[in-house]
Amino acid sequence: MEGAGAGWPEPVVRVQSLSESGAATIPGRYVKPEAERPSSAAPAAGPGGATAEGIPVVDLSSPGDPATARAVSEACRDWGFFQAVNHGVPPELLRRARGVWRGFFRQPMEVKQRYANSPATYEGYGSRLGVEKGAVLDWGDYYFLHVRPPRLFDPDKWPHLPPDLRETTEEYSREVAALCGRLMTAMSVGLGAGPSRLQEAFGGAEGAGVCVRVNYYPRCPQPELTLGLSSHSDPGGMTVLLADDRVRGLQVRRRGAWVTVDPVPGAFIVNVGDQIQVLTNATYRSVEHRVMVNAAEERLSVALFYNPRSDLPLAPLPELVSPERPSLYSPMTFDEYRLFIRSKGPRGKSQVESLKAAAVGAAR
């Protein structure tokens, strides 16, 4: 289909093409309202305005240790984000995963366009999140894939080039999903629950969903006016992000300010998604984050989303609900839940907050 194309409200423009056109200014539809621009970051804590504080770093070399569960749990309660070191995924695989996806985004535009996505499933090569006509867009292209469950795995949606992309992405996903399993155990133990409690609530390891979103943020001539990805919380269970090894950009909301993440070489950035916030009755928090772009260098990140089985209505675990701590959220399946971000685009924490209003309303 020509024109708007495949269900998008407007013709799709690749941010990479805009960037490579060499224009000195960005089109108006990428210009964020003043309050959302990166320069509007609230003054950071501490003298001189600089924050020395960064997201916690958690050593996973003994994933079964109570001390590891405590450290993971503390980070999920306090920050909703941490960097995982000694995570067990070989550094060489991280290098290959970045390499094949850089290779994909370097393919000629007509090759990439064969995988143009639609809002029906979002699988493939995309340049926007949300289908609202006239929305202000983010300065980034991406590639989105379902890896699991097997019924959602569609080889036609996977790039054929570079030749080692598929095998590498499958191997990468297997290893990182296994890491998510270890993290689920640590998170569960850190709640005072049995080691498999959270995983069971997800519908078991076999039922869990795994999606990969590779984000490509091209160089931007006016980075102070836009964002690579607007503020959002991740809708799924948890996210394991392989950030760019050279270029910073991710910022995490902390007490109203934006904290820029300084990735530890070889680490993953792990964050709690909305579904774990719901299941833990907000003991663990999904936290808003966003991405800044820059004029000098492009940036690539690989996000793996580990999600609950999508047809289970999820609500707080009964053992985390008490008269003193009533259930904050009404039940919803992840299939229903993810329609929000897929139609409205990234909107801070407004969705999980709206579930809360519903639960409070239902209690009245």
Question: In the window 245-264, what residues touch ligand OGA (CB under 6 A)?
Answer: 249-250
Q: Which is nearer to ligand OGA, 249 or 308 (CB)?
A: 249
Per-residue contact string for residues 297-316; x = within reach of ligand OGA by CB under 6 A: ----x-x-------------
Q: Give the CA radius of gyration of the chain.
A: 20
Integer Cα distance of 157 and 338 in angstroms: 20
Nearer to ligand OGA, 243 or 267 (CB): 243
Where do runs of H (alpha helix) occur along the chain? 15-20, 66-78, 91-105, 109-113, 165-190, 197-201, 204-207, 274-279, 334-344, 350-363
Instruction: Closer to ligand OGA by CB, 83 or 327: give it.
Output: 83
Q: Least distance in Å: CB of 239 to ligand OGA?
A: 6
Which among 221, 303, 212, 258 has a CA at the least distance from the CA of 26? 221
> Which two tokens mark 318?
């009964």
| Chain CA centroid to CA 10, Å | 25
Q: Which residues contact 52 (CB under 8 A, 6 or more apart)?
A: 46
Least gap, CB of 249 to ligand OGA (angstroms): 6
Work out what residue 243 binds among ligand OGA, Ni ion, none; the CB cut-off runs from 5 to 8 Å by kind: ligand OGA
- Residue in the shown chain whose Cβ atom is closest to Ni ion: 234
- Find the part of the chain contacting ligand OGA (CB under 6 A) among 84-92, 109-117, 199-207, 242-250: 242-250
Residue 128 in the binding site for ligand OGA (CB under 6 A) = no
By CB under 6 A, which span of 23-31, 94-102, 143-151, 243-251 interacts with ligand OGA?
A: 243-251
Q: How far is the CB of 173 from Ni ion (least distance, A)?
A: 17
Determine which residue in the list 15, 75, 291, 292 makes contact with ligand OGA, applying CB under 6 A.
Answer: 291
Shortest separation between residue 273's beta carbon and Ni ion, angstroms:
8
Which of Ni ion, ligand OGA, none lies near 298, with the C-beta cut-off 5 to 8 A by kind?
A: none
The whole-angstrom separation of Cα 321 and Cα 278 is: 11
Residue 352 near ligand OGA by CB under 6 A: no
Is residue 127 within the footprint of ligand OGA (CB under 6 A)? no
CA distance 308 to 324: 27
Return the H-helix or E-strand segment holding 85.
strand 81-85
- Least Å distance between CB 289 and ligand OGA? 5
- Beta carbon nearer to Ni ion, 247 or 315: 247
By beta-carbon proximity to Ni ion, the closer residue of 80 and 223 is 80
- Is residue 50 exposed (0-12), middle (13-18) or buried (19+ Cβ within 10 Å)? exposed
Burial (CB count <10 Å: 0-12, 13-18, 19+), residue 354: exposed
Where on the chain is the footprint of Ni ion (CB under 5 A)? 234
Strand spans (E) along 244-338 = 250-254, 257-260, 268-272, 289-291, 299-307
Pick from 169, 31, 162, 57: which is nearest to 105 by CA?
162
Of 71 and 243, the one with the shorter C-beta distance to ligand OGA is 243
Query: Of residues 165, 238, 243, 320, which one binds ligand OGA by CB under 6 A?
Result: 243
Query: By C-beta, is 284 or 305 nearer to ligand OGA?
Result: 305
* Spatial contact of 61 and 70, defined as CB atoms under 8 Å apart: no
- Number of helices (H) and strands (E) in the chain: give both, helices first: 10, 12
Using the rule CB under 6 A, is 72 a contact of ligand OGA? no
| Closer to ligand OGA by Cβ: residue 251 or 281 | 251
What is the smallest separation between the CB atom of 186 and ligand OGA, expressed in angstroms?
22
Q: Residue 94 binds which one of ligand OGA, Ni ion, none, with CB within 5 to 8 A depending on kind?
A: none
Nearest-angstrom CA–CA distance, 335 and 109: 32
Footprint on this chain of ligand OGA (rule: CB under 6 A): 213, 215, 229, 234, 241, 243, 249-250, 289, 291, 301, 303
